[in-house]
Each structure stands twice: as structure tokens, then as C-alpha cells.
Amino acid sequence: MPLQTVEPQRLYRQIAEQLRTLVAAGEFKVGQRLPAERDLAVQLGVSRPSVREALIALEVEGVIEVRTGSGIYVRAPAATAAKGRAGHVNDLAQADDATPLDWGPLEVMHARGLIEPDMAALAAERASRSDLNAIAAGLRQMQQQARRGEVPREGDEAFHLAIAQASGNGVLLDTLQRYWRSRHGPLFERLGDYFEGPDSWQVAIIEHEAVLHAIQARNPREARKAMQRHVRQALRRYSANWR
């Protein structure tokens, strides 16, 4: 059963379904190493980041095992059977309908890159003193968590949502809240396990500082540019080579 080119809609789910079907059909045997990410991308006619999302989804299910520095291997059926239907990638969404976990992490990052720079520019124009304090508090929380050796996700979320609040646009705030709810899903968490760490968070904190300083300076142009750089770099970090 050859791999088929997929349509660009919910790519990671389509890719995951194809690979899962091939595993079930015995095209990829238990313990066998799958083709490299770049080779799968070529065969499927999609980007490497889209393949990566699919592989991480299958790892969350227990269908495959990612061994960094070695490759991606098919796991024994017993490892996947225990997860049952609840482990299927199409069932990753929680019961809460407000949590759109069928969104791919990289898709969410692309969407954030479209709206957050303008939100930062609006915040530079409209932020009240309490808004500025809330944004700064989110950054301080990130810094404190990082110093304690913790992943500073709570501070990160507080920082970005405070900027959305400061933009004065309730629709943008609601939209960003939905994006951030998806970030609490298993795919985002597993992606973070591979591509986030103390060094990357220190770089991200510096990027957040630049955004805050531009907003405090009431400079919409610089605030937009600083947020664009941050989201672009965050996407690059998630798209880096496997460690």
C-alpha cells in the first residue's frame, strides 16, 4: 500500500491516519524504523513540520516511539491496545467543546503570528496603567519560573493574554484564549518536551522583554515588530531538528 499525497486540510490528522493504516496493515512491522521525517515529507507531498505533528500525535497514542538520535519505531500492538479507542488522534480533544485540540500546534502558531503582532501594536496605543502592570507581571512570572527551573508556561500565557486584554478588542482576546486553550493539549505538551528547554526559554524571555519595552514606550510599530520576531522565532524553535 503506497503512501498517498494528502490534501492540505488538517494535515497532521490525515498524515497520522495514513501512517496508522500502514502500521495496522503490516506495511511497517513492529520494531521497524519508519522512514526519516524528511523522506516521509517528500513521499506525502507535505512539509516536514506537518509530518512532525503527525508523528507526535501517533507517539501520544502509543503507535510509535521516537528515539532521539536513532529514529522513529513502530511499537508493539500491546502498547497501543491498552490505549484503545481513547488514544486515537481523532479523540485527542477533551470533552470540553471549547478546547479545540484537533488544531495542530504549528497551525496555531501560524495563526498567532497573524493576530498577535497587531494586538501588541494596539496595546502600545491603548494600554492603561493596570494593563501595563499585568503584562509586566506576566513577564516577571516567566522569569521567576525559569529561575526555579520550571517551564514558564503560566507566565507566558499571562503575558500574552494581558497584551490581548490591553488591545481593547474583546474578539481578539476571545480568539487568543482559544488558541491558548489548545496549547494545553497533549500534542503541544509533547512538542514542548522535544523542543523547549532552559536555553530556549531564556531566549524567549528576552523576546518578551522587547515586546514589553515597546508597549511601555507607546511605540506601536516596534511593538508589532517585536511580537512578529517572537512568534516567528517560537515557530522556528518548534520546527528545529530533533534533539
Give yes or no: residues 141 and 225 share one domain: yes
Mean pLDDT of all residues belonging to the chain: 86
Residue 98 lies in a domain: no
Q: Is the pLDDT of residue 14 over 50?
A: yes
Give yes or no: residues 152 and 82 share one domain: no
Above pLDDT 70, what percent of the chain? 84
Instruction: Report angle CA 99, 65, 59 to the nearest 5 degrees.
Output: 10
Q: Which helix (H) or strand (E) holds 210?
A: helix 198-216
Give yes or no: residues 127 and 157 share one domain: yes
Residue 1 lies in a domain: no
Scanning 217-242, the segments in alpha helix (DSSP H) are: 220-238
Give yes or no: residues 79 and 35 share one domain: yes
Q: How many domains does the chain have?
A: 2
Residue 2 lies in a domain: no
Give yes or no: residues 200 and 159 share one domain: yes
pLDDT tens digits along 153-179: 999 999 999 999 999 999 999 999 999
pLDDT tens digits along 96-142: 444 445 678 888 899 999 999 999 999 999 999 999 999 999 999 99
Give yes or no: residues 83 and 33 share one domain: yes
Enclosing domain of residue 126 = 105-238
Mention every residue, 6+ apart, whose C-beta is less than 8 A from residue 150: none
d(CA 119, CA 179): 14
Instruction: Report angle CA 240, 178, 125 to the nearest 5 degrees.
Output: 90
- Give the three-state DSSP class for 217: coil
CATH number at residue 150: 1.20.120.530
- Residue written as cell 471549547? 98
Give yes or no: residues 19 and 61 share one domain: yes
Q: Are 198 and 149 in contact (CB under 8 A)?
A: yes
Residue 145 is predicted with a pLDDT of 96
